[in-house]
């Protein structure tokens, strides 16, 4: 699988924001151009879980994140929910792949029903209709029958449903290792190389 040159990353208002921000960091480190989309509810969750306050304007968030990750507009663009002239809003200029991480059940339902009431939903609709890779990371528990039906509907369309359920066979020592487990699985789905964790069946490196 060839690594994608561009990835749309959408953050919604589900718990699990460390997954999304760590994924953003890893994609930029891998040289991928990222189009970042976020909902108003995501800003609330970022403040609650990360302790950061993102500005209300997408351009200000863009400048803040570009400074943090030391990249420019050729590597990271940020778009608001109503920016219909963003590249990801049209099938004539879609990203190579898209990830919604974390994904609320409301966003998942809207994507499953083909709604396009905001840029996140529209970008997902474009990814599906253009046959591009779409990875959805739902963060909810327990799942209702309605949630499961929506996920099954999307899975049958070729969408990768990747719940935020970290494993423990790699003996994680901190929360960061649990986050990296999920981010590693997402990067694998995208074909983006990484060294976030030891793969199953690999020999444990000898310590000096």
Binding-site residues:
13-15, 39, 104-107, 139, 169, 185
Tokens, residue 140: 């909810």
d(CA 163, CA 101) in angstroms, rounded, equals 10
The separation between the first and the last C-alpha atoms of the chain, rounded to the nearest angstrom, is 35
Whether 125 contacts 116, CB under 8 Å: yes
- Phi, psi values for residue 7, rounded to 5°: -135, 130
Known binding residues for FMN? 13-15, 39, 104-107, 139
**Helix H or strand E segment including 36:** strand 33-38
d(CA 195, CA 5) in angstroms, rounded, equals 19
Known binding residues for dimethylallyl phosphate? 169, 185
Tokens, residue 108: 């998942």
Tokens, residue 129: 């209709």
């Amino acid at each position: 699988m060839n690594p994608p040159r561009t990835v749309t990353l959408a953050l919604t208002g589900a718990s699990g924001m460390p997954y999304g921000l760590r994924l953003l960091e890893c994609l930029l480190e891998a040289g991928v151009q990222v189009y970042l989309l976020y909902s108003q509810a995501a800003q609330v969750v970022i403040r609650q879980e990360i302790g950061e306050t993102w500005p209300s304007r997408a351009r200000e968030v863009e400048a803040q994140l570009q400074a943090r990750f030391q990249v420019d507009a050729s590597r990271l663009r940020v778009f608001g929910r109503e920016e219909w002239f963003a590249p990801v809003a049209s099938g004539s200029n879609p990203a190579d792949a898209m990830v919604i991480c974390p994904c609320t059940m409301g966003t998942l339902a809207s994507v499953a029903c083909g709604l396009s009431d905001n840029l996140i939903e529209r970008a997902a609709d474009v990814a599906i209709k253009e046959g591009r890779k779409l990875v959805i990371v739902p963060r909810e528990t327990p799942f209702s029958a309605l949630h499961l039906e929506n996920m099954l509907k999307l899975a049958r369309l070729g969408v990768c449903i990747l719940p935020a359920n970290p494993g423990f066979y790699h003996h994680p020592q901190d929360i960061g290792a649990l986050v990296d487990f999920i981010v590693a699985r997402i990067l694998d789905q995208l074909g983006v190389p990484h060294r976030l964790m030891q793969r199953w069946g690999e020999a444990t490196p000898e310590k000096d």
